[in-house]
Structure 1
Amino acid sequence: MLTDYLPHYRIRLRTERLELRLPDLDDLVALADQAAGGVHGPDFMPFVVPWTDAEPVERGRATILWQLRAIASSTPENWAMPFVVVHDGQVIGMQEVTAREFKVTREATTGSWLGLPHHGQGFGTEMRAAVLALIFDGLGGDYALSASFDGNGPSAGVSRKLGYQADGIEHKTLGDVRRIDRRWRLDRAGWEAHRTHEVAVEGLDAAALAMLGLDAPPA
């Protein structure tokens, strides 16, 4: 079985409405379909790399290749878990968690997107809450990090709702335009104070933890 070789594929995050899991090939096709259908409006680019500025088939292809690269290049010291987000049996988007030297830093970074038909229904908050439970409860993390460009009100709103605090800015470029990327940081106390979703973390056994550079579950 795949999980004999990639045990982190056993990990499942379940909320009231959602399941998050690492994608199989069918999941990748469904995720590509969401990307091809669009993930944001035409007037604002929310990504540092403007991968959505392409024809539908190219967006879908880029999605599949990016997910495969993220999984294939992960190591215990520098890992990525690009979960697909499933609602009522349908893949609706993706929620990524990445970390470098997590065993030492105890911090991880999240990023996400949803297919356009699934915006405005609270899924963004719920899927971020799912991976925060993984970071803090499952892996014993101390901090979760995120970022959003100025003008990305929905992403910033999710961060504020879940207890993140502003953590400075960076300047990024899109073509010849300078943009402000606002960093967000959530510590354990802030997460505990803003928990609004029950999350079940499944499959996080010793073999899966080893894939993420950890020797044992948190105390």
Structure 2
Amino acid sequence: MLIDHFPVFGLRVRTPRLELRLPAPEELSDLADLAMHGIHGPDLMPFGNPWSELPPADRARRVIQRHWSTLAELKPDAWALNLVVFLDGRPVGVQEIEADDFGVRRQVQSESWLGLRHHGQGIGTEMRAAMLHLAFAGLGADEAVSVGYLDNHASLRVSRKLGYAENGTSRGISRGKLAPEQRFLLTRRAWDEHRRVDATIEGLAPCLPLLGVET
């Protein structure tokens, strides 16, 4: 079976409302359809690469290709998991967790997106909390970092709510123009003090060597 060779297909992170995991092919198609209907309003660009402004069909194809490429490039010293977020069995977005040389650094970073129709329901906070549970409780991370443009108020609000501390600014680029970024750092202690979302993990043990974690 495929899961015997690539155990990340058996990884599950669950919260009271959500399940984060890799999608089956038809579920990936549903995720691409979701992206076609929009990810954010026209007045905001949360990504350095403005893929979310591609024409709908190209945007959907990009979601699929991004999913395949991260799986193809996964290796212990450099990996990214594009975990699809499911609500009531349907995909609502993506919560990515990634790391370089995790076995040494013990640090993760994250990116995410949520279908526009699902904004404003607390899902963004809950799915980031699930990712942090995987990082700290599951993988044994020491730190998590996050970066958001200063005008992406929803993302910055999630980081602050979950205990991240401001960690300086940087000069990013958005739509070809200078866009100041706020950097955040979350320590294990701060995560433990601020966690409010119950989460469980299933199927992690077989994945640990693939993610650079010694067992």
| Same-fold status (TM-score > 0.5) | yes
CA distance in 2, matches of 1:198, 1:176: 40
* Counterpart for residue 31 of structure 2: 31
Q: CA deviation at 1:175?
A: 4.5
CA distance in 1, matches of 2:36, 2:150: 25
For the aligned residue pairs, the C-alpha RMSD in angstroms reads 0.9
CA distance in 2, matches of 1:176, 1:138: 38
1:56-106 residue CA offsets vs partner (Å, 9 max, x unmatched): 111100110011101111111000110000000110000000000001000
Give the partner amino acid of 1:136.
Answer: F
Give the partner amino acid of 2:130.
Answer: A
CA distance in 2, matches of 1:33, 1:157: 27
Q: CA deviation at 1:176?
A: 4.1
Q: Does the alignment pair 1:46 with 2:46? A: yes
Give the partner amino acid of 1:159.
Answer: S
* Counterpart for residue 215 of structure 1: 214
CA distance in 1, matches of 2:187, 2:24: 32
Point out where structure 2 has 5 or more consecutive residues left out of the alignment.
none
CA distance in 2, matches of 1:160, 1:129: 12
1:8 partner SS = helix
Q: Does the alignment pair 1:114 with 2:114? A: yes
CA distance in 2, matches of 1:94, 1:81: 10
CA distance in 2, matches of 1:113, 1:176: 21
114-123 or 20-29, which deviates more: 20-29
CA distance in 1, matches of 2:176, 2:28: 33
CA distance in 2, matches of 1:33, 1:212: 30
Sequence identity (%) = 45
Q: CA deviation at 1:181?
A: 1.4
Give the partner amino acid of 2:162.
Answer: L
**Counterpart contact for 2:45–2:175, Cα < 8 Å:** no
Give the partner amino acid of 2:210.
Answer: M
CA distance in 1, matches of 2:214, 2:130: 22
Matches within 5 A, 1:91-102: 91-102=91-102
Give the partner amino acid of 2:212.
Answer: G
Number of residue pairs aligned between Structure 1 and Structure 2: 215
CA distance in 2, matches of 1:208, 1:186: 24
Point out where structure 1 has 5 or more consecutive residues left out of the alignment.
none
**Counterpart contact for 1:27–1:84, Cα < 8 Å:** no
Q: Normalization by structure 1: what TM-score?
A: 0.96
CA distance in 2, matches of 1:7, 1:176: 39
2:214 partner SS = coil
Give the partner amino acid of 1:110.
Answer: S
1:52 partner SS = helix
* Counterpart for residue 153 of structure 2: 153
* Counterpart for residue 137 of structure 1: 137
CA distance in 1, matches of 2:144, 2:12: 19
- Residues 39 and 175 (structure 1), Cα distance of their counterparts in 2 relative to 1, 3 Å cut: closer
**Counterpart contact for 1:8–1:209, Cα < 8 Å:** no
